[in-house]
Amino acid sequence: MHIDHIGIAVDDLEKAVETYEKLLDGECYKREVVDNQKVETAFFETGQSKVELLGATSPDSVIAKYVAKKGEGMHHVAFEVDDIHAELKRLCEEGFTVLSDEPSRGADNKLVAFVHPKDNHGVLVELCQSVEE
């Protein structure tokens, strides 16, 4: 298991992309809207891991609510796993609160599922598994 990416919730995705292009001295290599989560994502490569900027595409997006409540900042840490269904089952059995029983389609050709921050000392954890396009 390794850290695939860090998700950062932002208010203005255009501005944030500009900032992170300067910060990381590199171009955003991919932007993608994830309709089922009402977010637009922008990805940066940082060695073996990535930074995922998350901007809301709708006022009722979880990201809009997050930014309104907590302000911009780190939203989740994503761990790449080989078998997301098996990991979800394992974590349920360990007593973790998974936010959905089944993974959903996320950005960047991934299946994704989330584990509640209350079980992870305040950190929202994403599990992700790469899938074929």
Q: Which residue is nearest to Co ion (CB)?
A: 7
Question: Cβ closer to Co ion: 38 or 93?
Answer: 38
Q: Which two tokens stand for residue 71?
A: 């302000």
- Is residue 49 classed exposed, middle or buried when 0-12, 13-18 and 19+ CB atoms within 10 A define those classes? middle
Question: Cβ closer to Co ion: 93 or 130?
Answer: 130
Residue 29's Cα: distance from chain center in Å?
16
Question: Cβ closer to Co ion: 36 or 95?
Answer: 36
Region binding Co ion by CB under 5 A among candidate stretches 51-59, 63-71, 81-89, 90-98: 51-59
Distance CA 18, CA 116 (A): 31
Is residue 55 near Co ion by the rule CB under 5 A? no
Q: Find the shortest distance in angstroms from Cβ 78 to Co ion.
A: 4
Give the residue ranges of DSSP H helices in the chain: 13-24, 62-70, 84-93
The answer to whether the CB of 121 falls within 8 A of the CB of 111 is no
Among 64, 67, 78, 98, the residue binding Co ion under the rule CB under 5 A is 78
Question: Cβ closer to Co ion: 95 or 127?
Answer: 127
Binding residues (CB under 5 A) for Co ion: these are: 7, 52, 78, 126
